[in-house]
């Protein structure tokens, strides 16, 4: 099928698309915060003074942010191109986001209310969007491009 015979992105698909765009903006801001930390000499000196374990965790967090930014960007582009594999990758993206929220809830030194809020949004999105992406005939008619 060509892109002309596929349905346009609309209806309930605008919700997952909006969630994806907001997440891309949020991850981009997180990435800018990491870059700012690397470019700021005072913060860089503080990082160098940390133990190797803390520094390794910081580098691992940076790697996860870069990976999620790239995956979110790729998924956003594929969503607009209405690629056939978007529903499957969107579900994977939601599950990874949920796992990262669980990690933040369990290990981050933030208040429980903030961590719970970060956990509830991906959980609610996964609970609402996954059944829709799996069962909707509109999704099957929209994402048809190879």
pLDDT in tens, 42-100: 988 888 888 888 888 888 989 999 999 999 999 999 999 999 999 999 999 999 988 88
DSSP category for residue 145: B
Q: Averaged over 138-146, what is the pLDDT?
A: 88
DSSP 1: -
Tell me: pLDDT of 126 over 60.
yes
Please say if the pLDDT value at position 2 is more than 80.
no
Determine the Cα–Cα distance for residues 7 and 56; give it in Å rounded to an integer.
Answer: 46
pLDDT exceeds 80 at position 31: yes
Q: What is the pLDDT of residues 100-122, one digit of tens each?
A: 888 877 777 777 787 787 788 88
What residues pair up with 5 in beta bridges, in sequence order? none
**Residue 87 phi/psi, 5° resolution?**
-60, -45
Contacts with 116 (C-beta within 8 Å, 6 or more apart), sequence order = 105
Instruction: Please report the pLDDT score of residue 94 as a whole number.
Output: 93
Confidence of residue 1 (pLDDT cuts 50, 70, 90): very low
Report which of 73, 70, 88, 72 is spatially closest to residue 143, judged by C-alpha positions: 88
Query: What is the rounded distance in angstroms from the CA atom of residue 38 to the CA atom of residue 128?
Result: 38
């Amino acid at each position: 099928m060509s892109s002309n015979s596929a349905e346009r992105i609309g209806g309930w698909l605008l919700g997952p698309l909006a969630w994806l765009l907001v997440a891309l903006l949020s991850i981009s801001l997180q990435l800018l915060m990491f870059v700012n930390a690397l470019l700021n000499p005072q913060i860089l000196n503080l990082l160098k003074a940390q133990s190797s374990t803390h520094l390794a965790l910081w580098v691992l967090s940076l790697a996860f942010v870069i990976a999620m930014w790239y995956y979110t960007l790729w998924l956003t582009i594929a969503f607009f191109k209405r690629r056939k594999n978007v529903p499957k990758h969107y579900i994977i993206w939601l599950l990874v986001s949920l796992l990262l929220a669980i990690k933040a809830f369990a290990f981050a030194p933030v208040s429980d209310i903030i961590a719970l809020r970060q956990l509830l949004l991906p959980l609610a999105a996964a609970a609402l969007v996954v059944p829709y992406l799996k069962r909707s005939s509109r999704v099957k008619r929209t994402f048809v491009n190879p």
